[in-house]
Structure 1
């Protein structure tokens, strides 16, 4: 098979079968019936050089042949396959994609060398714990979560005689319950009980199912779920480095959550020093988006900070390294306005993706023109959570970072705080309803890594 003219996973669509892609197989699994009988067909998770992940299905008629050809972790050139849109009833998808690859009798597979193309060993879409409440309210996608293990319990059985294993994971600020079931639970406990595991044990739960019961969040395993223990990944290294910081617990684990305050734009601009590193909520209309040529940034794959071009290569000054394949993230400036004034807000990757449900790669054009999809944000009202920094207060920098944004103005008052003379307003603690902003505290450091 020729290896030229390969397409990226994000660009493969329905209507053709002559696609050709180079991918790494990062996961293989089989689903099962409600009674636990495994399906004959099996699933693959692909990763390409653009860090795009996509699910593939091998039907039962091809499973014996293909199972002999594929191996998790290896690179392949794959040719001649179908692309199908997911049906609406397709729940708990392994990755956030609206379509999947389906192998056919014409599909060809060829293993390729690591030197042929650079594709990372793995990729995860890790969620902040503060965002998991919203994730628990949907059943369309599974979720990737990082944390270190606390309070491991032994295997037990429930009233239906199903085996379960319960433990907690934490990111240093919040703790989430984890419940594993049946053979998956037994296999994980066996791996966890191995000697000489580096402590604390840090896990990545990939494609876990987030549920909520009586306001308690719980992550459980589903067919595509895989847990990586002390995995060699920059997110694990970063968390372990933070754990070694003697000030980590004091800085990252506040004893009392402080609710965000609802403020007008004028009140935000006149905030006093006591609001430095605090978040506030504004209800405002985005009246314009700055349509500059630079609407996205290149980000280091290790520390998630901006890279810079030096000698025709992208460098990260924080990691002191060349970054050959930096990540791309949205970075847009908007003007928000209410009855009291207007201010400049910085919308970063998560906020833009929450509004337009697209990645940078999906909006890129050959001439790098500013995407109309982003311009369409203009003219609507939003509930925006803003971070007030020392530059905003001490140097009167009028550019504010948005740490969350949702369409509309709906919110539910949870409590009323005392009038704050330094804000010169009577403000209330608020939480938008439905899919609105979560008011869990987000540090500036965490936001920089999204």
Structure 2
């Protein structure tokens, strides 16, 4: 049995995740509808099977190394994703800085974290990342505060596999003619 999972965005757009037949017994009973999970070590692929349920070009595929953890008490709303491609940001005439976006990317570069103090605020950490989508489009993303601490362990040197992340609730801006993204 091959299992397909569908995630929705606020505009009704969907992205598909699949559990291959060969590893279904490992994951098939651990994923339930209307539950929230932290899923890591999955594969992002060009979708081979076009379905009406998910028109998105990419699919998330479980592997034998995929880890699925149930989030017992989510402390944030179970909002739908609004996935976009970096190419949409790069080709946009204007960028609406009030829209929250979600994006699946690989982290391909980073600066060292540094302390910053926003005007009238308290000191926090800042981390600039270079992110790339599966079409090889790149932009910069900036993380602040707790997000820097959360991602640091995954950015260790010597990592063999690419670091794929889903960034949710980000705002895109143009700065010095370049598109950058940061958390809301």
TM-score, length-scaled by structure 1: 0.22
In terms of fraction of residues, the more strand-rich structure is 2
More helix by share: 1
Higher CA-based Rg? 1
